[in-house]
């Protein structure tokens, strides 16, 4: 009986360890804090999603070229870009280097809602957000908080990780992150996970027959 009790206790501890956020708020950069205060490392995000695959929505909020050329985590349910790249050039603070100006996705919150529906989930259910390095995910989480979503976790190191501050790889994303933790990912993309499935501007059309008859709720 004692042995059975210990086994049950071990299983309970395992369940708790794979469903709860383990990163303390004090260890997360202040500018990356969210109203939810739910933070996961790459390993914790993987554990939570694999333990509850049908109960958790795992979102990649990078833009389409990023997932196409850099790769995507195998456990991701949907790619819903938080913003898109434009062709407008923007100089950085040093006045020398620059980047392309970002365009916010005006349909982000609605598309996330569609991704939840596709899994049979609601705004009450947990969502994990992954971006490139952990800086975009908090912005996306704040937007979802304002839209009434209830449980949004941010994966704090992103897909590629954080830039090294010193050494031969200084300035490169080689610190932590999904890829550097050895977690499953690849370059092959699955149609069911692509943004056009959840884009509100195309979503309704996707669930109708050619004659315009509704096929039902996804």
SS (H, E, C) 131-180: CCCCCHHHHHHHHHHHCCCCEEEEECCCCCCEEECCCCCECCEEECHHHH
Q: Write down the pLDDT at residue 211.
A: 47
pTM above 0.75, yes or no: yes
3-state secondary structure of 44: helix
With CA atoms as reference, report the closest residue to 160 among 168, 171, 144: 171
Q: Write down the pLDDT at residue 97.
A: 93
Superfamily of domain 27-206: Rhodanese-like domain (3.40.250.10)
3-state secondary structure of 1: coil
Domain boundaries of the chain, sorted by first residue: 27-206
Q: Are 199 and 105 in contact (CB under 8 A)?
A: no
**Burial of 203: CB neighbours in 10 Å, binned 0-12, 13-18, 19+:** buried
CA distance 23 to 46: 14
pLDDT tens track of the chain, all 218 residues? 444 443 344 334 444 444 455 688 888 989 999 999 999 999 999 999 999 999 999 999 999 999 999 999 999 999 999 999 899 999 999 999 999 999 999 999 999 999 999 999 999 999 999 999 989 999 999 999 999 999 999 999 999 977 656 777 566 566 668 998 899 999 999 999 999 999 998 865 554 444 444 444 44
Q: Write down the pLDDT at residue 203.
A: 66
Q: Write down the pLDDT at residue 4.
A: 47
With CA atoms as reference, report the closest residue to 139 among 67, 60, 34: 34
């Amino acid at each position: 009986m004692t042995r059975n009790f210990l086994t049950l206790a071990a299983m309970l501890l395992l369940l708790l360890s794979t469903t709860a956020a383990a990163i303390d708020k004090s260890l997360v950069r202040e500018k990356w804090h969210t109203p939810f205060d739910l933070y996961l490392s790459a390993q914790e995000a993987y554990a939570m999603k694999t333990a509850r695959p049908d109960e958790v929505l795992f979102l990649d909020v990078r833009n389409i070229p990023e997932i196409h050329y850099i790769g995507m985590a195998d456990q991701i349910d949907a790619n819903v870009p938080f913003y898109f790249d434009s062709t407008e050039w923007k100089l950085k603070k040093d006045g020398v280097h620059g980047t392309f100006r970002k365009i916010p996705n005006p349909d982000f919150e609605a598309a996330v809602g569609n991704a939840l529906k596709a899994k049979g989930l609601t705004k009450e259910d947990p969502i994990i957000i992954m971006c490139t390095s952990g800086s975009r995910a908090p912005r996306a989480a704040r937007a979802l908080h304002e839209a009434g979503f209830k449980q949004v976790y941010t994966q704090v190191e992103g897909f590629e990780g954080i830039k090294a501050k010193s050494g031969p790889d200084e300035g490169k994303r080689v610190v932590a992150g999904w890829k550097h933790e050895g977690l499953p990912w690849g370059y092959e993309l699955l149609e069911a996970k692509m943004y056009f499935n959840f884009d509100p501007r195309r979503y309704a059309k996707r669930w109708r027959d050619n004659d315009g008859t509704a096929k039902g709720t996804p």
